[in-house]
């Protein structure tokens, strides 16, 4: 029994060292970039809506893939009810930092609730609670609980209507429910502009801290609302 277990333990030890080394090589001072398209369509005369998000996350500003993210969701808001409920799926493709082209895929099912409100005269607040189930379960894959709070505040007018410039900030916190431990935290500050009734964009900076590293990301966001 010892003869069989010793090589196995050695293999696990080497695997752990390699995986730790991969994260140790992440350049925390290098500025990354995330490019995101958000699409939301309310189904006419119904409480239903559909959402899609496509996001390219890079370790740098160029082509060093961190993650590629595709999300689809259906949501429902009962009449005279403050919450919108959502059920969806997203696919992640993870890349390794640096010259390696190796990647791995991950699938996530989620359910969430969103509450939006006006705080004060022109502070548009959103609160979201999301529960996720990841598979296959890997080093950074687990049952996640994500809490999210955001604020959009128009700067040149009192509403977020056409031609509004606005400040956008949010904080998102991840909890690993398998171990009830801190997963990661994202803090974002950006400037947005409402181009038309259906289109807006944002540019900002997001700081992501995990238990392994912390890194700054430029954020380029395009929104379509119908």
Q: How many helices (H) and strands (E) does the chain have?
A: 1, 11
Q: How far is CA 24 from CA 12, 18, 20, 97, 105, in A?
A: 18, 10, 6, 10, 21
Rounded average pLDDT over 14-43: 73
- Tell whether the model's pLDDT for residue 1 goes beyond 60: no
pLDDT over threshold 70, residue 139: no
Residue 179 pLDDT = 78
User: In the predicted model, is pLDDT for residue 5 greater than 90?
Assistant: no
Q: How far apart are CA 42 and CA 56, in angstroms?
A: 25
Lowest pLDDT segment from 110-124, 177-191, 206-220:
177-191
Average pLDDT for 66-72:
97
**Domains of the chain and CATH, by start:** 30-225 (2.40.160)
Task: Determine the distance from the C-alpha atom of residue 178 to the mean position of all C-alpha atoms in its chain, rounded to a whole number.
Answer: 20
Task: Enter the DSSP assignment of 173.
Answer: E
Tell me which residue of 103, 106, 104 sits closest to 91, measured CA to CA. 106
What CA–CA distances, in Å, run from 110 to 48, 64, 72?
Answer: 17, 28, 10
Strand pairing class (144-154; 123-135): antiparallel
Q: For residue range 201-220, what is the model confidence (pLDDT) as tens digits?
A: 999 999 999 888 899 999 99
Integer Cα distance of 120 and 154 in angstroms? 12
CB 112 within 8 A of CB 89: no
For strands 214-225 and 32-42, give the pairing: parallel
Contact between 57 and 68 under an 8 Å Cβ cutoff? The reply is yes
Query: b/e for 37-66, b at 16 or more Cβ within 10 A?
Result: ebbbeeeeeeeebbebbebbbbbeeeebbb
Q: Higher pLDDT residue, 4 or 198?
A: 198
**What is d(CA 37, CA 28) in angstroms, rounded to the nearest whole number?**
25
Band the pLDDT of 77: cuts 50, 70, 90. Answer: very high
Whether the Cβ atoms of residue 122 and residue 116 lie closer than 8 Å to each other = no
CA–CA gap between residue 86 and residue 66 (Å, rounded):
27
Summarize the confidence of residues 11-26 as an average pLDDT.
Answer: 44
Percent of the chain at pLDDT above 90? Answer: 72
Q: Tell me the three state secondary structure of residue 88.
A: strand
Q: What rounded mean pLDDT belongs to the chain?
A: 88
């Amino acid at each position: 029994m010892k003869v069989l277990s010793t090589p196995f333990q050695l293999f696990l030890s080497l695997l752990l060292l390699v995986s730790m080394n991969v994260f140790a090589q992440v350049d925390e001072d290098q500025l990354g970039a995330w490019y995101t398209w958000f699409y939301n369509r309310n189904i006419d005369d119904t409480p239903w809506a559909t959402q899609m998000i496509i996001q390219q996350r890079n370790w740098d500003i160029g082509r060093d893939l961190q993650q590629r993210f595709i999300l689809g969701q259906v949501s429902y808001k009962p009449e005279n009810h403050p919450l919108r409920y959502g059920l969806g799926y997203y696919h992640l493709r993870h890349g390794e930092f640096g010259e390696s082209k190796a990647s791995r895929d991950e699938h996530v099912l989620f359910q969430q609730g969103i509450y939006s409100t006006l705080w004060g005269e022109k502070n548009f607040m959103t609160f979201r609670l999301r529960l996720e189930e990841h598979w296959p379960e890997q080093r950074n894959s687990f049952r996640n609980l994500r809490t999210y709070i955001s604020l959009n505040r128009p700067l040149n007018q009192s509403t977020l209507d056409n031609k509004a410039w606005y400040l956008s900030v949010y904080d998102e916190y991840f909890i690993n429910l398998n171990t009830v431990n801190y997963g990661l935290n994202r803090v974002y500050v950006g400037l947005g502009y409402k181009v038309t009734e259906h289109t807006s964009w944002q540019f900002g900076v997001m700081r992501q801290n995990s238990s392994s590293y912390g890194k700054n990301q430029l954020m380029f966001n395009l929104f379509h609302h119908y």
